[in-house]
């Protein structure tokens, strides 16, 4: 049992934090959101130079052989800085499918480009009716000579507008919510038959509606008849990264709130001297530490067998969702009016934390999954 970081991991954490804090502040972030592509090519290049984009890939594939702990550290730093870049989409989700599902030829053609910052990937999974059910897939993939042709519509595809490649779940057999008969396909984003409509998301990120009309896949990832376990594994890795990102955001927001409580004066004294506000700050600290514990738990459970991993990750997402809601709402409340002013950072952290709950299953979704596992005791 050991929660310590190695010296190398500590150095990684420091350099990621430094790189991001040099390049991010509230003004720059607002300008990025208002512009195109909605995030910073400069930060992306710096991330590539720092090795962050190749971090989780095996060295023989052109990566740096990082594991779940390294991903956690990067995600946490991105949460602290409230970054906008498509790291989760490209490196964690896209990278996860490449690592666990791609054949050698696909890995050789894409991983070096991802690591260099030249290839962006988006994961097109959610559909209008699916909510958070990964098995609810109406998009179809049909055999077409030696390849596959996809038909359907994917919604809220994160960073789908700027991606060079899409990873799409589609049904190859069975009915709409069957666990079997789901394939995972890699498509060039500019392939004929793909229509992408990009938009801004509430947290300052990017989303897209992706319509597939006879779009041809460039590769199959994993078993086209039974791809759901692959999807679940990659999504669990993404949830672990989201948990760490949320911890980074919560930690920054809590620190910001404490600063405010110490400096804002009303009734002739710092408002942090009022016990009613102190107790809310204490509850925020408890929520943060419980979330931090669970983000670490997620990281350490990712390589466990699927049943244990899925239960662990579901409980992590529940705790993260609960902690983020409490901490986010308290932070805004303790800031008062400035907490909901767009010029001030607290509200933006609150918005990102709110968005994280809607990604890959909210508290209720994962609680329902856990409830199904509750068994009677003798």
Partner 1 sequence: MDLRFTPDERAFRDEVRAFIADNLPEETRRRMVEGRVPTKEQTVAWQRVLNGKGWAVPDWPAEHGGTGWTAAQRYIFREELQQHPAPQPVGFGTNMVGPIIIAFGTDAQKKRFLPRIRNIDDWWCQGFSEPGAGSDLASLKTRAERDGDHYVVNGQKMWTTYAQHADWIFVLVRTNPGAAKRQEGISFLLVDMKSPGITIRPIITIDGGHEVNEVFFDDVRVPVENLVGEENRGWDCAKLLLGHERTGAARVGVSKERLQRLKYIASQVEEDGRPMIEAQRVREKIAGIEVELKALEMTVLRVLAAGKRSGESRKADPASSILKLRGSEIAQSITELMLEVAGPYAMPSLADPESEDLTNEPDLAPDWAHTIAPVYFNWRKLSIFGGTNEIQRGIMAKAFMGL
Give contact residues for partner 1 (rule: CB under 8 A). Answer: 1-5, 69, 258, 261-262, 272-273, 275, 277-279, 281-283, 285-286, 289-291, 293-294, 296-297, 299-301, 315, 318-319, 322, 367-368, 370-378
Q: Which of 91, 92, 81 is nearest to 18 (CA)?
A: 81
By CB atoms closer than 10 A (0-12, 13-18, 19+), residue 169 is buried
From the CB of 305, what's the least distance to partner 1, in Å?
A: 14
Buried b (16+ CB within 10 A) or exposed e, 139-161: bbbeeeeeebbbbbebbbbbbbb
- Residue 181 gets which letter from DSSP? S
From the CB of 261, what's the least distance to partner 1, in Å?
A: 6
Residues 6+ apart with CB under 8 A from 134: 125, 169, 228, 231, 232, 235
From the CB of 364, what's the least distance to partner 1, in Å?
A: 8
Is 111 or 261 the residue whose CB approaches partner 1 more closely?
Answer: 261
From the CB of 163, what's the least distance to partner 1, in Å?
A: 32
Task: Please state, in angstroms and as integers, the Cα–Cα distance from residue 178 to each residue in 146, 175, 330, following that order.
Answer: 25, 6, 41
Helix (H) / strand (E) element for 219: namely strand 219-221
Is 149 or 299 the residue whose CB approaches partner 1 more closely?
Answer: 299
CA dihedral 18, 19, 24, 25 (to 10 degrees): 20
Is 32 or 242 the residue whose CB approaches partner 1 more closely?
Answer: 242
* Side-chain-side CA neighbours of residue 88 (13 Å): 31
Three-state helix/strand/coil letters over 172-203: CCCCCCCCCCEEEEEEECCCCCEEEEEEECCC
From the CB of 268, what's the least distance to partner 1, in Å?
A: 16
Is 59 or 303 the residue whose CB approaches partner 1 more closely?
Answer: 303
Rg (CA), the chain: 21
Is 44 or 349 the residue whose CB approaches partner 1 more closely?
Answer: 349
Angle, alpha carbons 106-107-108 (nearest 5°): 90
Output the six-digit token pair for 149: 């042709």
Is 319 or 359 the residue whose CB approaches partner 1 more closely?
Answer: 319
Task: Please state, in angstroms and as integers, the Cα–Cα distance from residue 223 to each residue in 68, 228, 374, following that order.
Answer: 24, 9, 31
From the CB of 8, what's the least distance to partner 1, in Å?
A: 13
From the CB of 328, what's the least distance to partner 1, in Å?
A: 17
For tokens 């994160």, the residue is 158
Asked if residue 313 lies in contact with residue 234, where contact means CB atoms within 8 angstroms, the answer is no
From the CB of 58, what's the least distance to partner 1, in Å?
A: 20
Residues 48, 116: Cα–Cα separation, whole Å: 5
Is 140 or 293 the residue whose CB approaches partner 1 more closely?
Answer: 293
Is 129 or 278 the residue whose CB approaches partner 1 more closely?
Answer: 278
Asked if residue 100 lies in contact with residue 233, where contact means CB atoms within 8 angstroms, the answer is yes
From the CB of 177, what's the least distance to partner 1, in Å?
A: 19
Is 116 or 370 the residue whose CB approaches partner 1 more closely?
Answer: 370
């Amino acid at each position: 049992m050991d929660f310590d970081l190695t010296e190398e991991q500590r150095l990684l954490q420091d350099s990621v934090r430094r790189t991001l804090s040099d390049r991010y502040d509230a003004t720059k972030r607002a300008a990025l959101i208002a512009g195109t592509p909605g995030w910073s090519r400069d930060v992306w290049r710096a991330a590539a130079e720092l090795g962050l984009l190749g971090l989780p890939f095996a060295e023989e594939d052109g990566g740096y052989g990082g594991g779940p702990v390294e991903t956690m550290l990067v995600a946490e730093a991105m949460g602290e800085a409230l970054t906008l870049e498509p790291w989760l989409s490209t490196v964690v989700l896209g990278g996860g499918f490449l690592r666990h599902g791609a054949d050698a030829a696909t890995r050789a053609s894409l991983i070096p480009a991802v690591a260099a910052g030249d290839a962006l990937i988006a994961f097109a999974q959610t559909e209008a009716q699916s909510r958070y059910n990964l098995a609810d897939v109406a998009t179809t993939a049909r055999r077409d000579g030696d390849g596959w042709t996809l038909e359907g519509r994917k919604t809220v595809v994160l960073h789908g507008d700027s991606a060079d490649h899409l990873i799409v779940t589609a049904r190859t057999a069975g009915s709409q919510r069957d666990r079997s008969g789901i394939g995972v396909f890699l498509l060039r984003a500019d392939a004929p038959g793909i229509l992408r409509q990009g938009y801004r998301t509430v947290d300052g990120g990017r989303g897209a509606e992706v319509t597939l009309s006879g779009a041809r896949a460039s590769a199959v990832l994993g078993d086209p008849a039974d791809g759901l376990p692959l999807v679940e594994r990659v999504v669990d890795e993404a949830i672990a990264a989201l948990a760490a990102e949320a911890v980074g955001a919560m930690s920054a927001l809590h620190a910001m709130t404490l600063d405010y409580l110490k400096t804002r004066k009303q009734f002739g004294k710092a408002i942090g001297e009022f016990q009613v506000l102190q107790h809310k700050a204490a509850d925020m600290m408890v929520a943060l530490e419980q979330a931090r514990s669970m983000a670490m738990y997620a990281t350490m459970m990712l390589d466990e067998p699927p049943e244990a991993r899925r239960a662990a990750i579901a409980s992590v997402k529940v705790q993260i969702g609960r902690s983020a809601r409490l901490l986010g709402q308290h932070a805004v409340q303790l800031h008062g009016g400035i907490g909901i002013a767009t010029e001030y950072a607290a509200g933006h952290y609150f918005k990102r934390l709110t968005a994280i709950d809607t990604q890959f299953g909210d508290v209720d979704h994962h609680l329902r999954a856990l409830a199904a596992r509750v068994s009677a005791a003798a």
